[in-house]
Amino acid sequence: MALSMKEIGSFHIGGGPVTLSGLPPRQLVLTQGMGVRAFPQDGDFETGQMYAQYIRLQAPRAKYPLLMWHGGGMTGTTWETKPDGGAGWQSWFLHAGHDVFVSDAVERGRAGWSRFPEVYPDEPHFRSKQEAWSLFRLGPPGSYATRTGHPDGQFPLDRFDQFAKQIVPRWSCNDARTQAAYDALVRTVGPSVVMTHSQSGAFGFAAALHAPDLVRAVVTIEPSGAPDPDAVDVSVVRSVPHLLVLGDHISEDPFWQAIVMRVRRYFDALRAAGGTADLLDLPTLGVRGSSHFPMMDRNSDQVAGLVQEWMQRLGLVR
């Protein structure tokens, strides 16, 4: 089905200048056939920016643009075509009437990254396939070696290597830079719905607390963190509905159980403050085998439909 698109565009937002000095120049061949030349490593640079690409529809049915924020070690490709070649959530939510902004956070993808240890204090972490397999609950413990998944698993395991091509290096020292850029993105776009995945869950909750007048709803897919309700004033986001989406096989995974317990505590506090904090626990609803990446699972359309229903119920889609 054709989409009538009003505009496609992109921009970098956030960050600022940094100047480096005292670094030795390097002898490099940067231009084929032009020989070795000396390149100063000192100079002025930009750092701390993020990247966002937007597609605006000719006739959106959603009241606000949908900002899609990826998780740790990933980029905006999380939301694009699935590793199995099927249409992803960027495409799904466009067809469902939303203007979409798919972004790359600070240090990831088209956002670029900065020299370490001179700008970023630490070196990056390179996530292995072993770590991804286990962290993303693609199979029982120890199943990476045989690539045997959960019997009911929805993730396309025959495309796991294709998925692994999407993984990019990540740092553990850039949370403040990343939050600042996301906050700047929200201020630039204006009233919007924030959809987060995994690591960006914490950034999305904080973005709503920082700009409750602009973040009109938070849809959080398996967030890996949430604010401590004793450390923030949750009443600030009383009028910002939150939806938590959880996949399957969490009850067999102590790491994810601990995370979910913390997120549920935040949601309980939201409800206690008079807010809307709903739960889409997929296995409880009879949707079995969802991985940590429901937007890449074989039944991604089904899960997207449940999220869309919630947005419709709240009047966020006309």
- Omega of the bond leading into 117 within 30 degrees of 0 (cis): yes
What's the min distance (Å) between Cβ of 84 and its own copies? 11
Please give the Cα distance from 101 to 207 (Å, whole number): 15
What's the min distance (Å) between Cβ of 273 and its own copies? 20
- Please say which residue, 167 or 193, places its beta carbon nearer to its own copies: 167
What's the min distance (Å) between Cβ of 217 and its own copies? 22
- Please say which residue, 83 or 275, places its beta carbon nearer to its own copies: 83
- CB within 8 A of 172, min separation 6: which ones? 122, 125
DSSP letter at 111? G
What's the min distance (Å) between Cβ of 213 and its own copies? 25
- Please say which residue, 16 or 315, places its beta carbon nearer to its own copies: 16
- Please say which residue, 129 or 238, places its beta carbon nearer to its own copies: 129
Structure tokens at 218: 């938070």
- Please say which residue, 17 or 151, places its beta carbon nearer to its own copies: 17
Helix (H, G, I), strand (E, B) or coil at 280: strand
Nearest 5 degrees, angle CA 72-CA 8-CA 317? 75
Furthest CA-CA distance within the chain: 68
Helix (H, G, I), strand (E, B) or coil at 261: helix
Burial class (CB within 10 angstroms; exposed 0-12, middle 13-18, buried 19+) of 18:
middle
What's the min distance (Å) between Cβ of 65 and its own copies? 16
Structure tokens at 133: 């397999």
Helix (H, G, I), strand (E, B) or coil at 235: helix
- Please say which residue, 130 or 239, places its beta carbon nearer to its own copies: 130
Smallest CA-to-CA distance from 181 within 288, 69, 318 is with: 69
What's the min distance (Å) between Cβ of 282 and its own copies? 21
Smallest CA-to-CA distance from 295 within 84, 120, 16, 128 is with: 84
What's the min distance (Å) between Cβ of 32 and its own copies? 4
- CB within 8 A of 19, min separation 6: which ones? 43, 44, 45
- Please say which residue, 49 or 289, places its beta carbon nearer to its own copies: 49
What's the min distance (Å) between Cβ of 287 and its own copies? 25
Smallest CA-to-CA distance from 83 within 185, 1, 165 is with: 165
- Please say which residue, 43 or 191, places its beta carbon nearer to its own copies: 43
What's the min distance (Å) between Cβ of 120 and its own copies? 12
- Please say which residue, 187 or 238, places its beta carbon nearer to its own copies: 187
DSSP letter at 151? T
Please give the Cα distance from 195 to 260 (Å, whole number): 17
